[in-house]
A and B are shown apart, each in its own frame.
Chain A
């Protein structure tokens, strides 16, 4: 079982998942997942519907309706399972939601102000001054090609599918995570929107930032080239490889991979 981690010989993984078992409402979905993510790496997790891909993202970020029944989850050497969702966020984990949530009456500006300042507070830093915050906001909006009028809109209310996903990437840019998890960011996007989102992610790639790209299709991976590809099936990672694995899946589907 050294396939998943042979890219690194030392033990300095950013994220280490060992034999993770987890589920919801008593139903086990992840049945022993092993995964190691090094600094600056981009990992794609692919798999058919119901394989447990989104569960993996939910468990890493600490959604409380998901129960962990076994295994280990370590981030920068710390036990993630002992941390609240907001603490995991402060530590630098970001999840781009498959279905971003509406918060009526709350503007993107106020939402991001609360998020950015919460993170700063956790790090013992004072709130950003309004001017500094607005500068940051504008800069990051430009990065993902968002119109500045967007900042006044209510979080995800009345957004198109593409706008929602772009908003997720924008938030990721604002919060500058160490690990970005993209949960089916490509679902429901047309090619143009997909490309815009991918450009945003690529702009955020750096040796200091890792990504887990959860996807059903190989399409997104044409725009964001992963370093590693893992196939998740029935709650287990059944195959590890490089970008060529994604292409093989595109040709033959998940059927043949066991």
Chain B
């Protein structure tokens, strides 16, 4: 089986192309002037510049975290371009550059009116700016605000100001502080009271320019009794050097509101030798503020050289609930340290964690989780299940679950398994005529089914394909 595994180790990353487009940049490096420049380019109000500068000063006092089970390569923060945007045609500032249209077409995210994905509104972010947001009018009729973060700052400053950094404080962690200082664009979404969002909302993040990092900011607010399904995707060109992606996502879920947040992460993972790839260092957190609020995280992580990411929920409202469903696949030299935090504060709060790690090649895959139950979280319940699947014998799977329970009336359960794709399973499939490669994809798909089935239908199909593509070259 190992021979076969080795033979299969070259992955075809079809999103690895570069778009030739004239870009404008701020100079390389990071200091207060760069931050002022970014803020000025975006025409931001003074409070937001102050917010950035405050974050930057905090960041200067912080240390890059190295507690993850990762070999984070040295990052020279002065060697990164913090803002890159396609230059607008000054005669036609409202039009989207055809090269960008073509790029998103190629990525399967058509932006023109005729071909837009039915039932999915997209905010397309290219390097540091949002290119366009589709279906805005349709959504506006229901009072839903879905736009780029920059537009939200201009058009809905009160909402942004009220909620920005309310879930992830500026000094939360090193990368969140960095993001707060330099974030360029991202998506903003507000669902008013009692409104059920009539379509999927999604953000698609594309890194294109070399030598840059992407620092997007997403802010989602689901007001009382509203419902939203949100989906995020991302890709980048193939390059020999690492590129930094440090995003912050904040989600506010009010009383009886229901938010489903799904991610299919397919950043460039680097080559088989571990050269290049995105460093994906992301802070995602939601708060179930009101009674009966519900937040569900689903993530399929197949890309990035390094993934450091823990979508978490603060269960503040009584009877609020949250789930974290994750498939993280690492191959070749990829390293992932991912998991979740469930913080139970309200009474009768419930959380469920289902984590499925898949390691292949020479990769390292870790689950890290915290379940915390405060003394007041009477009757809280958590159930965690962490499974690891190993493919081949040169990879690693690790789990670091932490449980802090200060409430005697709560129930916390944790279950973990580790398994390998067995020679028996492969032979069984092959005897039925299913080739070895297809057999591995089938077995992995089955293993991940519980998580994949949580994704909206059209993305589940994509995610399944992505899992098998990501295993190309590693599999047996």
Chain A residues engaging chain B, CB cutoff 8 angstroms: 61-65, 84-86, 88-90, 94-95, 97, 100-106, 110-111, 114-115, 118-119, 122, 154, 171, 175
Partner of A171, one of B422, B423, B432: B432
Cβ of A115: which chain B residues have Cβ within 8 Å of it? 429, 432-434
Chain B residues engaging chain A, CB cutoff 8 angstroms: 422-425, 427-436, 438, 442-443, 445-450
Report yes or no: A106 in contact with B442, Cβ–Cβ below 8 A.
yes
Cβ of A62: which chain B residues have Cβ within 8 Å of it? 430
Minimum CB distance partner of A58 in chain B = B427
Partner of A86, one of B423, B434, B446, B449: B434
- Can you give 28 contacting A-B residue pairs, CB < 8 Å? A62-B430, A63-B427, A86-B430, A86-B431, A86-B433, A86-B435, A86-B436, A89-B431, A89-B433, A97-B431, A100-B428, A103-B429, A103-B442, A103-B443, A103-B446, A104-B446, A105-B445, A105-B447, A106-B446, A114-B432, A115-B429, A115-B433, A118-B432, A118-B434, A118-B438, A119-B433, A122-B433, A175-B433
Minimum CB distance partner of A116 in chain B = B433
**Shortest CB–CB separation between residue B122 and chain A, in angstroms?**
29
Minimum CB distance partner of A112 in chain B = B432
* Most chain A CB inside 10 Å of its own CB: which residue of B427, B430, B432, B449: B432
Minimum CB distance partner of A122 in chain B = B433
Query: What's the Cα separation between A97 and B354 when bound, in Å?
Result: 33
Cβ of B434: which chain A residues have Cβ within 8 Å of it? 86, 114-115, 118
Minimum CB distance partner of A154 in chain B = B446
Query: What's the Cα separation between A63 and B1 when bound, in Å?
Result: 12
Report yes or no: A104 in contact with B447, Cβ–Cβ below 8 A.
yes
**Shortest CB–CB separation between residue B279 and chain A, in angstroms?**
31
**Contacts A111-B442, A118-B438; A103 near B433 (Cβ below 8 A):** no
Query: What's the Cα separation between A179 and B123 when bound, in Å?
Result: 56
Cβ of A61: which chain B residues have Cβ within 8 Å of it? 431
**Shortest CB–CB separation between residue A124 and chain B, in angstroms?**
14
Report yes or no: B427 in contact with A85, Cβ–Cβ below 8 A.
yes
Query: What's the Cα separation between A42 and B247 when bound, in Å?
Result: 66
**Contacts A63-B427, A65-B423; A105 near B450 (Cβ below 8 A):** yes
**Shortest CB–CB separation between residue B432 and chain A, in angstroms?**
4
Query: What's the Cα separation between A65 and B424 when bound, in Å?
Result: 10
Query: What's the Cα separation between A122 and B434 when bound, in Å?
Result: 10
Cβ of B446: which chain A residues have Cβ within 8 Å of it? 103-106, 154
Partner of B432, one of A63, A122, A154, A175: A175
- A-B pairs, top 8 by smallest CB distance, nearest first, are A105-B446, A106-B446, A89-B433, A105-B449, A85-B430, A115-B432, A101-B428, A118-B433
Cβ of A64: which chain B residues have Cβ within 8 Å of it? 423, 427
Query: What's the Cα separation between A86 and B430 when bound, in Å?
Result: 5
**Shortest CB–CB separation between residue A82 and chain B, in angstroms?**
16
Report yes or no: B431 in contact with A95, Cβ–Cβ below 8 A.
yes
**Contacts A86-B433, A115-B433; A106 near B443 (Cβ below 8 A):** yes
**Contacts A101-B424, A105-B450; A84 near B430 (Cβ below 8 A):** yes
* Most chain B CB inside 10 Å of its own CB: which residue of A62, A65, A115, A119: A115
Minimum CB distance partner of A110 in chain B = B442
Report yes or no: A106 in contact with B445, Cβ–Cβ below 8 A.
yes
Query: What's the Cα separation between A62 and B428 when bound, in Å?
Result: 11
9 A-B pairs besides A86-B436, A106-B446, A122-B433 with CB distance below 8 A are A63-B427, A85-B427, A86-B435, A95-B431, A103-B429, A106-B445, A114-B429, A118-B432, A118-B433
Query: What's the Cα separation between A63 and B430 when bound, in Å?
Result: 9
Report yes or no: B428 in contact with A89, Cβ–Cβ below 8 A.
no
Partner of A85, one of B431, B443, B447: B431
Cβ of A118: which chain B residues have Cβ within 8 Å of it? 432-435, 438
Minimum CB distance partner of A119 in chain B = B433
Minimum CB distance partner of B444 in chain A = A105
Query: What's the Cα separation between A31 and B383 when bound, in Å?
Result: 55
Query: What's the Cα separation between A84 and B433 when bound, in Å?
Result: 10
Report yes or no: A101 in contact with B425, Cβ–Cβ below 8 A.
yes
Query: What's the Cα separation between A89 and B434 when bound, in Å?
Result: 9
Minimum CB distance partner of A84 in chain B = B430
**Shortest CB–CB separation between residue A92 and chain B, in angstroms?**
10
* Most chain B CB inside 10 Å of its own CB: which residue of A88, A94, A103: A103
**Contacts A61-B431, A86-B433; A114 near B447 (Cβ below 8 A):** no
Cβ of B450: which chain A residues have Cβ within 8 Å of it? 105
Report yes or no: A114 in contact with B438, Cβ–Cβ below 8 A.
yes
**Shortest CB–CB separation between residue A184 and chain B, in angstroms?**
16
* Most chain B CB inside 10 Å of its own CB: which residue of A89, A95, A97: A89
Cβ of A175: which chain B residues have Cβ within 8 Å of it? 432-433
Query: What's the Cα separation between A100 and B447 when bound, in Å?
Result: 18
Cβ of A63: which chain B residues have Cβ within 8 Å of it? 427
**Shortest CB–CB separation between residue A254 and chain B, in angstroms?**
28
Cβ of B445: which chain A residues have Cβ within 8 Å of it? 105-106
Cβ of B432: which chain A residues have Cβ within 8 Å of it? 89, 111, 114-115, 118, 171, 175
Report yes or no: A89 in contact with B442, Cβ–Cβ below 8 A.
no
Query: What's the Cα separation between A100 and B424 when bound, in Å?
Result: 9
Query: What's the Cα separation between A65 and B423 when bound, in Å?
Result: 9
Cβ of A101: which chain B residues have Cβ within 8 Å of it? 422, 424-425, 427-428
Minimum CB distance partner of B421 in chain A = A103
Cβ of B428: which chain A residues have Cβ within 8 Å of it? 97, 100-101, 103
Partner of A89, one of B430, B436, B443, B449: B430
Minimum CB distance partner of B435 in chain A = A86
**Shortest CB–CB separation between residue A172 and chain B, in angstroms?**
10
Query: What's the Cα separation between A63 and B425 when bound, in Å?
Result: 11
Query: What's the Cα separation between A88 and B434 when bound, in Å?
Result: 11
Query: What's the Cα separation between A64 and B2 when bound, in Å?
Result: 12
Partner of B433, one of A90, A104, A154: A90
**Shortest CB–CB separation between residue A119 and chain B, in angstroms?**
5
